[in-house]
Structure 1
Amino acid sequence: MKKVISASRRTDLVAFFPDWLSSVFKEEKAQVYGPSGHTYTVDLNPQTVHTVVLWSKNFSNLIENCYYLKDILKKYDQVYMHFTVTGLGGTFIEQGVPSFSEALLQLDHLIKIAGKPERISVRFDPVVYWEEEGKVKSNLIFFKKLAPELSTHGIKDVRFSFAQWYRKAKRRAAKYGFSYVDPSQDEKKEAARFLVQIAQRWDLNLYSCSQNFLTEVPGICPSACIDGFFLQSLHPAREPAAKRKDKSQRKECRCTESLDIGSYTQFCPHSCLYCYANPKI
């Protein structure tokens, strides 16, 4: 069975390592430094790859064909994209990320590259709350602007979660004087109901990523961000993909098996304050 390649949950390869990404797809193999420190090689021969799943907050390098990345990816049967748009790009929370309006300009290009809007999932992820000038603020309201744009483009699937303040992220918030707020589960469910109302108005599918308590809210389904069943249905030849749960992911994650070619040593410069992957910021 052909494998699904993830590029990458661990870092933004498209935005910051397009030269490396283009090189490994051209050479059809990647050496990866895994989370536990071991290295492994991934075969990227198109005959062995079902789908290439790209994750990014900025696909401009792909759109502009930097290092011939767009051309090289054409030899693969299917490219699926997770595009993160939170509305916080260019703010002090996501300093290295394109602004909301700049991100939306990429949608038409991505649909053309993917071949159909069903091969694009937009991640309104994470939803962040913070205190500023005595008031609690959030990016939640941006979903009102995002939803109609997605609907107009034929993009149906939206994934979201609420920021999880792991120890690294808490230290970073303290370092930069960021007064994050972590609402209760009940408050998060209420916010999720707000998202559902908007999603239903624009005929969008809303999925919660690794926060299954949110599925208690009608209209929210648990997310398998890499979903072998769905990728098989989208594949040009309907070739089978792995459908077993990926045991290397978090307990609540419903993703099916894939091989990630990103390394935590490829530090992401987006500088998002809530990030728990990059120890350099």
Structure 2
Amino acid sequence: MPALTSFTTTTSSARRTTEISRSSWRRSQQNTCNPTKRECATIARVVAQKRRIPLATKYNANSNLATTPTSPTRISLPRTLPRPVLGEVDASLLVEAYPDLAGIPAEYLRDRLPLSAPSMCAALKAAQTTASSSVLPKELQILMNDTVAAACPTHMLAVYNDAPIAFGTKRHVSLFPIHDIVLRAYCANLPAFAPSHPSTSSSHATLPVVPLRIPSPETFSLLHGYLYTQHSPSFLAALAPPCASASDLLQLATHASKIHGLWRNACALGVVDAQLYDIIESSWERTLAAMQSCSA
């Protein structure tokens, strides 16, 4: 992203100039005291466009934040990050993977999962694997130890996006060990996972690799961690805008890009959690306010 020296809140419509034909201009000059209704309407539109300077209101959950190509000093941001319609996860997929959950509402499961978060998060941190091949394998092994065995991960997510890459280069893939029950409980749009119940009795555990395409792989770890712990103060602190001075607008723009990427991931995965969107929305508003203060 190019360096930003000012923050301009413009919409695409505000950037378009309204052209008035010469004949209309002459008529308005000849009769300035009594303009026609059509000319009044034209003038009103021009004035309204000049006064309307909100952040861009058009959004697309599958698009990146767009900088204006003709000027390195402008960045177009949506004023709000609209909350998706929150549905519910498919309980049958949970029961298919965990028959003991039959008859248990997904909402109740989400309330209970944070109780297991400490052991699961410790296992994720302790899990070690090496992908030596340049081709994504179907399975990966992780080293087994007491911490991993206490709450062994079930799958290995291979997270990537579909952004264009240069010819001859390889697409970057990030690997995340996960417990599928957490993602199944929170993500309504999650693709099907192969059943996995790795053995903890040997020195290694074999995990199926699940490719997962999301809009913003670089912010997935933040979302993933929140789904495990549901600890809103830590999540809110991670999204708080940095204390930037007037010369640090680029830092704030980078932070806005992180929040936007997190929101795009949540929308794409269909995350069922109202608190998550509350925090994203408040963090977005605070970041935009900081950017406007810098550019004032």
Q: Larger Rg: 1 or 2?
A: 2
What TM-score does the superposition give when structure 1 sets the normalisation length? 0.23
What TM-score does the superposition give when structure 2 sets the normalisation length? 0.22
